Amino acid sequence: MRLFVVISLMLRLRPSQGQFPRLCATREALLRKECCPPWDGDGSACGASSGRGFCRDVEVSDLPDGPQYPFSGLDDRERWPLVFYNRTCECVGNFMGFNCADCKFGYFGLNCNERRESVRRNILHLSRAQKIRLVSYLNLAKHTVSQDYVVATGTYREMQNGSNPMFADASVYDVFVWIHYYVSRNALLGGPGNVWTDVDFAHWAPAFLPWHRLYLLHWEHEIRKLTGDMSFTIPYWDWRDARGCDVCTDELMGDRSPQDPSLLSPGSVFSSWKVLCSQAEDYNNRGVLCDAREEGPLRRNPGNHNRNVVERLPTTAEVEFTLGLTNYDTGAMDRTANMSFRNTLEGQMKLTTKTLAGCLCCLLSFSLTCLLFRCSANDPIFLLHHAFVDCIYEQWLRRYRPTPSQYPESNAPIGHNSEYHMVPFLPLQRNRDYFISSKDLGYEYSNLLDASKQLNSRVIISKQRKQRKKNIKTSIFNHCYLSKYIDFNSKCSRR
C-alpha cells in the first residue's frame, strides 16, 4: 500500500527524461516543431520563469560523417532531432530534463544542489533484500505505463509531417527497449524489403560507449522516479571467467524452464514478460517500424550458443588486453577499426575467436541469435551486462585520462561524431559529454572504489601509472604470444 502511495506521488511529479515526451507527441507540437513543455512548478515553458532553462533553437553540427551511410534527408534520425523538433529546452545550472524538471545526473533535491555519488555494485554481492528489490523494481517498471513518454510507431513521413501523430503507450521498461531498437534499426529506404543495413546510431562506432552510458543513467533515473528510491543503482554482472550464466537463477534474472530450455523458469517473474520490437527482419520486409506490440515471451538459452562463433565468456586477461589499447578508436571508426579500444570491447575485433560485448549476446543466445541484437534490451541481463561494459570503459578513461576533444570530431559513422545529438534522446545530449569519468556524472563502481581507496598519495599513484604502462606492454606481449600459439589472432601474429 505504502509503495503505491509513493509511486502515485512520484508519478504526479511528472519527472522528465527520455523520448518522446508525451507532451511533445501532439499534432500541435509537431507542426510547430517545438518541444518545450511547461515545468509544473511554475507553468512556464522549460521552467524559464524560475530560471531552470529556456526554449531555444536547436543547433546541429555540420561536420562531415563517415561514408558508411551515403544518404541524406532520408531517415528521421539524421541531424537529430531536427526532423521532429527545431526548438527544445536548454536547461541551465544543475537542471535537466525535457522541461527542466529534473536534476542533472549526480544532483538531488528540490533545487538540484545536493551532490551525491551513487555506487553500482556487483550483482552477486547484493544482499538478499537488495536482490528482491532489484527484481521487483524491474517488474514494476515492466508493468507501469510511462506517464512521461510515448514511443513513435511511424516515420515522420507516415505521420504526414506531423499532422497525423503516430505514437503508442509503453511501460517504463519498454520505452527503453524501444529506444534501443529505434537507435539501431536499419534505415527504411521506401517500400518492402528496401533497407540500408550499414547504419546504427549507437553501435559499431565511437558512440557505442557514451550512448550506452547515457542509456543506463536514464534508465536508473527512471527507476528512481518510479519507485521513489533515490539510492537505487543498477548492479553490474562481472562475467569475466564465468563458467556460464551465473545470474540466471530464479533469485536474479531467471533460471531455465524445465519444459523448454529457451524459456524461463516459472519460478521467475521474468517468465511472464513479453518482448517487443524483436522482429527486425519482419519490419524490414514490410518496410515499417516496430509498432511496440507484444511479440511473445522472453526467450534466452544460455550456453546453447554457436561454439564456432564464441566458445566461452571473456577472461580477465582478455579484458586486460582490451584495456591496454591506448587508442579509443582508429581508422574508419567502424567495425573494421583495428587496435581500437572501442571496437575490441564492442566485440568486432577478434581477440582470439571470441569477442567481448558482442560475445556475451551469442553466449546467452538472446532471442535466437546475436544477429537480432537489436531486441536484446528485452532481457534485463542486458542492463547488468552493459553496466559491466561501462565499468570497463570507466577503467579505460581513468587509465588514459583523455580530454573530451580526444573523442572523434568528424568522419565517424553517422550519429557518432562528438557533437552529434544522441538518438533518440530528448533532452538533447552530445556524445562527447559522456566521454568523461563517471565521477563527473555522479556515480562510481564498487570494484573501482576499492582500488582507489588504496591509493592515498600522489606518489603512489604516479608510481602505479608507470607500473601500469609496463604491465600493458607485457600483457599485449603475453596475449600475442599465447594467441600465436593457439593461432587465433591474425592481428597479433605479426608483432
Binding residues (CB under 6 A) for ligand NAG: these are 33, 57, 86, 160-161, 338-339, 491, 494-495
By C-beta, is 81 or 206 nearer to ligand NAG?
Answer: 81
By C-beta, is 179 or 426 nearer to ligand NAG?
Answer: 426
Cell reading at 52: 531552470
Cell reading at 483: 594467441
For residue 62, the one-letter residue type is: D
Question: Closest separation between CB of residue 109 and ligand NAG, Å?
Answer: 35
Question: Closest separation between CB of residue 387 and ligand NAG, Å?
Answer: 30
Give Rg (Cα) of the chain.
Answer: 22
By C-beta, is 166 or 339 nearer to ligand NAG?
Answer: 339
User: Using H for helix, E for strand and C for coil, what is the string for 128-178?
Assistant: HHHHHHHHHHHHHHHCCECCCECEECCCCCCCHHHCCCCEECCEHHHHHHH
By C-beta, is 161 or 326 nearer to ligand NAG?
Answer: 161
Question: Closest separation between CB of residue 215 and ligand NAG, Å?
Answer: 28
By C-beta, is 113 or 338 nearer to ligand NAG?
Answer: 338
By C-beta, is 50 or 327 nearer to ligand NAG?
Answer: 327
Closest CA relative to residue 346, chosen from 220, 119, 471, 184: 184
What are residue 249's phi and psi, to 5 degrees? Answer: -125, 160
Question: Closest separation between CB of residue 156 and ligand NAG, Å?
Answer: 8
Cβ atoms 239, 388 nearer than 8 A: yes
Question: Closest separation between CB of residue 328 and ligand NAG, Å?
Answer: 15
Residues sharing a CB contact under 8 Å with residue 75, sequence separation 6 or more, in sequence order: 187, 188, 199
By C-beta, is 131 or 491 nearer to ligand NAG?
Answer: 491
Question: Closest separation between CB of residue 33 and ligand NAG, Å?
Answer: 4
Please tell me the distance from the alpha carbon of residue 386 to that of residue 371, in angstroms, as a whole number.
Answer: 18
Closest CA relative to residue 367, chosen from 293, 323, 304: 304
| Nearest-10 crossing angle of helices 208-227, 381-400 | 130
Distances (CA, A) of 69 to 65, 196, 197, 208, 284: 8, 8, 9, 17, 17
Question: Closest separation between CB of residue 302 and ligand NAG, Å?
Answer: 31
By C-beta, is 50 or 86 nearer to ligand NAG?
Answer: 86
Give the three-state DSSP class for 438: helix
Looking at residue 336, what DSSP letter applies? T
Question: Closest separation between CB of residue 382 and ligand NAG, Å?
Answer: 30
Distances (CA, A) of 451 to 445, 456, 461, 464: 10, 10, 11, 12
By C-beta, is 33 or 430 nearer to ligand NAG?
Answer: 33
Question: Closest separation between CB of residue 73 and ligand NAG, Å?
Answer: 9
Distances (CA, A) of 8 to 1, 4, 233, 241: 11, 6, 21, 43
Cβ atoms 114, 141 nearer than 8 A: no
Please tell me the distance from the alpha carbon of residue 139 to that of residue 154, in angstroms, as a whole number.
Answer: 28
Question: Closest separation between CB of residue 119 and ligand NAG, Å?
Answer: 37
Please tell me the distance from the alpha carbon of residue 319 to that of residue 341, in angstroms, as a whole number.
Answer: 10
By C-beta, is 339 or 436 nearer to ligand NAG?
Answer: 339
What is the chain's percent helix, strand, coil content, to nearest 5?
40, 10, 50
Question: Closest separation between CB of residue 219 and ligand NAG, Å?
Answer: 31
By C-beta, is 76 or 174 nearer to ligand NAG?
Answer: 76
Element (DSSP H or E) covering residue 397: helix 381-400
